[in-house]
Chains A and B, each alone.
Chain A
Amino acid sequence: MSLTRPIRRVGRVFIDASYEIGGAARLLARIFRRLVPPDLDIPELRRCLLRMGYRSLSIMIATAFVVGIILVIQAFVFVDRYGLRSQLGWGAGFTTIRELGPVLLALMFSGRVGAYTAAELGTMEVTDQVDGLRCLAIDPISYLVVPRFVAMVISLVALTIIGNTVALLSASVMGDIMMDVDQHTFWSNLFAMLTPWDYATSIIKAALFGAIIAVTSCHYGLTTTGGAPGVGRSVNNAVVSSAVAIFVVDYLSTFVMG
């Protein structure tokens, strides 16, 4: 009995994970079915864009600003040791645009918007509001999920572009203060070394992460059971699963996109 218990536990974890991944994949398929041709509630999309994109702007800018500063502080030791001050723009730009910007901003977005969405839909589910919509002949996927999916993808792409810019601005200022790398050297090196594909990679990653956060949070929200504690569990699961999925997809996309 004691020998089989760990195996059973691993099996249970595997089955639970498969169940959740299957549910999320099914939800994604239903979202795509309603996107072609578009079947979504436009006023709800507008509300979501305002709440998820515009109202996340300040916290994302603050995060990106700090990321840029940390980047330069960390790079200082190596740049100083090997005399690579002229390459600071490229180093900061490459790291921020291709990796740190999309990933850190997505994690922040997941904690703010993903958690909120899981809690909102979870509360609607346990208080029968989702069934209430069905009774009014309103498809909850078209009305609740698709606008949130589209809004999260658009918002995260826009916030990543803005965040990357802010991170690079703060890195350039910090580089000037800490290492005497003037603005011209920083930016000319950055633009000379980075290719359009690097910028495209950042946007593709942001779109993928936005989709992941949307599907995960909506899936956990709509499958909430067990009242208020169930909503708490859904929020927790949504944030943890989004983070894991973001890292896995980041690894795969980095591998595929070079």
Chain B
Amino acid sequence: MINLVNIHRTFDGEKALDGLTLFVPRGTLLGIIGPGGCGKSTLCKVACGLIRPDMGAVVVDGVDLVRADRKKLLAVQRNCGVQFQNDALFEHMTVLANVEYPLRRLTDLGRGEVRARAMERVAMVGLSGFEDRYPNSLSGGQRRRVALARACVTDPLILICDDPTAGLDPVTSRRILDMIAGIRYQTGNTVIVVSSDVPGMLSVCERAALMWSGRIIEEGVPADFMKSERDEVKRFLDDARLPFGGDR
């Protein structure tokens, strides 16, 4: 369960989050959409304790990350898998080593088990045969898939994916969103996905939230979301070329 209450965060005088409030029940697949620069990536980092808000409370599984000491914060972060917007793959490690790394650092599994589990995740994202390649020899879509495999390899209680479809073609984009949805249904864990692929996102997520100027202005199940009467929602969905007010 993630509860963000009245979060404010400013960078160099620019407001990234401006009174954001969001509740994510355990086991939900929440999709966050919104125009570029509205604070989606900042929200992802605040939710897993990587960025401290200037004001407000971030409660993850009963722990307030703003007031928690380092030990408690690390305990929460151990249960968070994050796929970053820039993939954040370790360039000096092979694909397999990247996926193995969280298992080696965060679990007590033996070497063989670590290898087997990492291979299984690499296969799950459709990259069998790429285990010994280095990230700089992969395409954008392949890098995203490696990042996804690494983020979910420990079966974290909370999986946060920051724009996993950015810059990808529609087919690859949809494939990645389907993989994320598959992970959610297999594990039953909480998943938060930020994506600029609005149609794809609304088709896979259980709940959707629209961010606008640093706050959530609309939240609900995708079907209701599409029928919203708010101007910003209509305008955003219109810009995303979605038929608001109708069925998908």
Tell me, in angstroms, the Cα distance from A126 to B78 when the chains sit together: 22
- Residue contact A137 to B78, C-beta cutoff 8 Å: yes
Question: B105, A126: Cβ atoms under 8 Å?
Answer: no
- How far is A138 from B105 in the complex, measured between Cα atoms in Å? 8
Asked whether, in the complex, the Cβ of A137 is within 8 Å of the Cβ of B90, the reply is: no
Q: Which residues of A contact B116 (CB under 8 A)?
A: none
Any chain B CB within 8 A of the CB of A134?
yes
Interface residues on A, range: 10 to 19
Closest CB in chain B relative to A149 CB, distance in Å: 20
- Interface footprint category on B: 20 to 34
Q: Give A129's nearest chain B residue, CB to CB.
A: B88
Given contacts A136-B105, A137-B106, contact A128 B77 (CB under 8 A): no
- Cα(A135)–Cα(B88), bound, Å: 11
- The answer to whether B87 touches A135, judged by C-beta atoms less than 8 angstroms apart, is no
- Determine whether the beta carbon of A137 is less than 8 Å from that of B82: no
Chain A interface SS verdict (over half): helix
B84 at the interface (CB under 8 A from A): yes
B86 touches A134 (CB 8 A): no
How far, in angstroms, from A131 to B44 measured CA to CA in the complex?
12
| A253 proximal to B (CB < 8 A) | no
CB-based contact A137/B50 at 8 Å = no
B105 to chain A, nearest CB (A): 5
> Chain A residues in contact with chain B, CB under 8 A?
126-129, 131-132, 134-138
List, sorted by A's number, 19 A–B pairs whose CB atoms are closer than 8 Å. Answer: A126-B86, A127-B84, A127-B88, A128-B84, A128-B85, A128-B86, A128-B88, A129-B90, A131-B50, A131-B88, A132-B84, A132-B90, A134-B50, A134-B77, A135-B77, A136-B102, A137-B74, A137-B105, A137-B106
